[in-house]
């Protein structure tokens, strides 16, 4: 019988990042509960890990722990832990990075 291997980390390769997708919205800002069929798709998440290529690219403004908006079409789901929503996302599908005013790299 083959022994199942347990992986501890995931490192994206090429121009990709590993993203923990935010939970989908179940309620509007006004407090109205939404049924599951009317769920608003969430395409935001937090970068967990970046590839070495992205890390060493000075023109790429992505860093670990950045909150981002990404296009989900090419995002590849990762079945690493059952309760996590991890996705490998190509950097060209990252459409925006949230920045705080006055933060490094942000507008002042």
> pLDDT for 40-58, tens place per residue?
566 899 999 999 999 999 8
Chain-centroid distance, C-alpha 75: 9
At 25 the pLDDT is 67
| Domain boundary assignment for the chain | 16-26+35-97
Tell me the sheet residues that pair with 49: 18
- C-alpha span between 91 and 53 (Å, rounded): 11
Measure CA of the first residue to CA of the last residue in the chain; give whole Å. 60
* pTM exceeds 0.75 for this model: no
> pLDDT for 56-77, tens place per residue?
998 998 999 999 999 988 999 9
Label each residue of 12-27 as H, E or C. CCCCEEEEEECCCECE
């Amino acid at each position: 019988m083959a022994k199942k291997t347990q992986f501890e980390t995931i490192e994206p390769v090429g121009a990709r990042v590993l993203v923990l997708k935010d939970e989908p919205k179940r309620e509007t800002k006004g407090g109205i509960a939404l049924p599951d069929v009317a769920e608003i798709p969430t395409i935001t998440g937090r970068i967990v890990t970046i590839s070495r290529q992205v890390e060493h690219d000075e023109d790429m403004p992505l860093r670990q722990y950045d909150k981002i908006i990404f296009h989900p079409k090419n995002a590849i789901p990762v079945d690493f832990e059952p309760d996590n929503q991890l996705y490998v996302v190509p950097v060209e599908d990252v459409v925006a990075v949230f920045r705080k005013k006055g933060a490094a790299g942000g507008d002042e």
